[in-house]
Amino acid sequence: MNKRKIVNDPVYGFITIPSGLLFDLVEHPYFQRLRRIKQLGIAEYVYPGALHTRFHHALGAMHLMGQALSTLQNKGHLIREAECEAAQAAILLHDIGHGPFSHVLESTLLSEVAHEQVSLLMMHDLNRQLGDRLDLAIQMFEGTYPRPFFHQMISSQLDMDRMDYLNRDCFYTGVTEGAIGADRLIKMLDLSNDRLVVEEKGVLSIENFLNSRRLMYWQVYLHKTSLCAEAMLSQIIRRARQLTQEGQTVFATPSLALFLKNKLTFDDFVSRPDYLLAFIRLDDYDIWTSVKVWAQHNDPVLSVLCTMLLNRRLFKVLFLTQPSEENVVAPLREDLLRKGIPEDQLSYFLVEGQTTNAAYVEEGEQIKIKLKNGNVVNITEASDLPTIKALSKIVRKYYVCWAKNVSLRQ
């Protein structure tokens, strides 16, 4: 059959799937599962249009990778066809290990297991199924391939992943202020000693990219209402797990039941392939189905939290410049006690946390600028604007979420 397909994407127009291997990856059940995992978790509670999925994002990142590789080839850099295919395969699969609601439940369902670790395990399994055709892609994903720019294009502070999710998330949320000039950024890419650099005339585009990223974090990814909805969902899973481990009957799909009964680690995934398969069967629908059923559970904490989330009766939030002190939390705690929340259950309705935002981290994989004289410098040295240094500062906010209108009294 003809495997060179074209996909109509609302962000970029027509996207070409350029090889049989990439087509086989897109068609594989592991990748098709991404259709059932929202890109922005529960952000649709703030932006109703944010219904796009990890499937959309992965295809878009693959498309941008193809454009970036063509740009580098047109500038005289030798990149073999096998390398192009491998790089596109790696970026296509970079998020394949995400669980339900993407980042929202990453540390709730699992115990300190990052989605990148699960992605790599799934890539190795796919490689076995496909007769070792992903060897090169896995090396690029891991950063062990001798040409480091491939890994930089997959995972760095200026990679195809970030370029697509900023473009795509702006499009679906309607937050147009966060839009980036991805086409121009890609045209400015170059190589120096097989490492990714940006031409000097692209400095302003980089500044716009970093500004957009900062804006999108505060306005979308760390939006106060999203934080509240995410906190509620996390507490729902925590309560369902506690009830399950106490021996109470809690509805769950077979795969979800496994993760409610056990707090699994990365070593568990490595030693027990059936755990990985159970995780692969999980998606947003398992969680939503359970939340709908749990709204009728006889445990008042679980049922009230689920009913509130389903009906968008969300927690309130208070942002702070420093960790919450007793004079802030005490009145909220007393109010919840008056409304019938037992003291041992307060933590489900009063959640403290913190968020951080840094558009550019100098200590990480720096964005390098290739000056007209051939020298390569950090973006903070190449820019004559104070903006970049300001964007390098980590901004930390503390918050308290609580259920303002709630009662467990029958």
pLDDT at res. 178 = 75
Residue 89 maps to which CATH number? 1.10.3210.10
Transcribe 42-74 into DSSP letters: TGGGT-TT---BHHHHHHHHHHHHHHHHHHHHH
3-state SS assignment for residue 8: strand
Q: Which 3-state string (H, E, C) describes 86-113?
A: HHHHHHHCCCCCCCCCCCCCHHHHECCC
Tell me, what DSSP letter sits at residue 38? B
pLDDT at res. 4 = 83
pLDDT at res. 108 = 87
pLDDT at res. 384 = 67
pLDDT at res. 112 = 80
Same domain, 90 and 189: yes
Same domain, 109 and 255: no
* Residue range of the domain that includes 236: 224-355
pLDDT at res. 371 = 93
Q: How far is CA 13 from the centre of its chain?
A: 23
- In total, how many domains does the chain have? 2
Distance CA 63, CA 134 (A): 18
Same domain, 249 and 134: no
Residue 185 forms part of a structural domain: yes
pLDDT tens digits, residue range 24-51?
999 999 999 999 999 999 999 999 999 9
End-to-end C-alpha distance for the chain, whole angstroms: 62
pLDDT at res. 239 = 97
Residue 237 maps to which CATH number? 1.20.1250.30
Residue 393 forms part of a structural domain: no
**What residue type is 344 in one-letter code?**
D
Same domain, 185 and 216: yes
Query: Are residues 64 and 28 in contact, defined by beta-carbon separation less than 8 angstroms?
Result: no
Distance CA 319, CA 398 (A): 6
**What residue type is 309 in one-letter code?**
L
Residue 392 forms part of a structural domain: no
Ranges of the chain with pLDDT below 50: 410
